């Protein structure tokens, strides 16, 4: 029987999943939301990104464990930690922060290693 540590070890094809949640300074502003989404879409041009999904809260059942308080979210997948660092430092990402950073009041990032 595999130990808990072995069962939680990264798989050989492990990826980095980068999930970011944004809360806008002006939550009701469609223009701000659209500008942020356009900025996020531009990030897809960074070559190390394997996949990207951009979205807004879904109209799913309200339950105690569901947090739909964010305005926009993006989910990206990278091959490894080094590629995620390339993304962080990439000029397109830095340009996104410079052009869109004024739109959000809060950002939370969840980075996960797939197992």
- First-last CA distance in the chain: 17
- Per the CB < 8 A criterion, the answer to whether 18 and 76 are in contact is yes
What φ, ψ does residue 50 adopt, rounded to 5°? -85, -35
Q: What angle do CA 73, 18, 112 make, to 5 degrees?
A: 125
Q: What is the DSSP letter of 84?
A: H
State pLDDT tens for residues 71-97: 999 999 999 999 999 999 999 999 999
Tokens for 58, please give them: 């879904």
Give the mean pLDDT of 95-113.
98
Lay out the sheet containing 104-113: strands in order across: 49-55, 72-78, 16-24, 104-113
Give pTM, 2 decimals: 0.86
- What's the pLDDT at 101? 97
State pLDDT tens for residues 17-61: 999 999 999 999 999 999 999 999 999 999 999 999 999 999 888
């Amino acid at each position: 029987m595999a130990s808990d540590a072995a069962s939680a070890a990264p798989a050989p094809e492990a990826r980095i999943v980068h999930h970011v949640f944004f809360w806008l300074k002006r939550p009701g502003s469609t223009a701000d939301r659209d500008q942020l989404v356009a900025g996020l879409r531009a990030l897809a041009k960074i070559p190390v990104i394997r996949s990207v999904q951009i979205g807004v809260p879904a109209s799913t059942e309200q339950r105690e464990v569901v947090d739909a308080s964010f305005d926009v979210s993006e989910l990206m997948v990278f091959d490894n930690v080094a590629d995620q660092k390339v993304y962080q430092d990439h000029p397109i990402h830095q340009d996104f922060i410079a052009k869109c950073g004024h739109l959000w009041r809060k950002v939370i990032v969840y980075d996960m290693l797939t197992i």
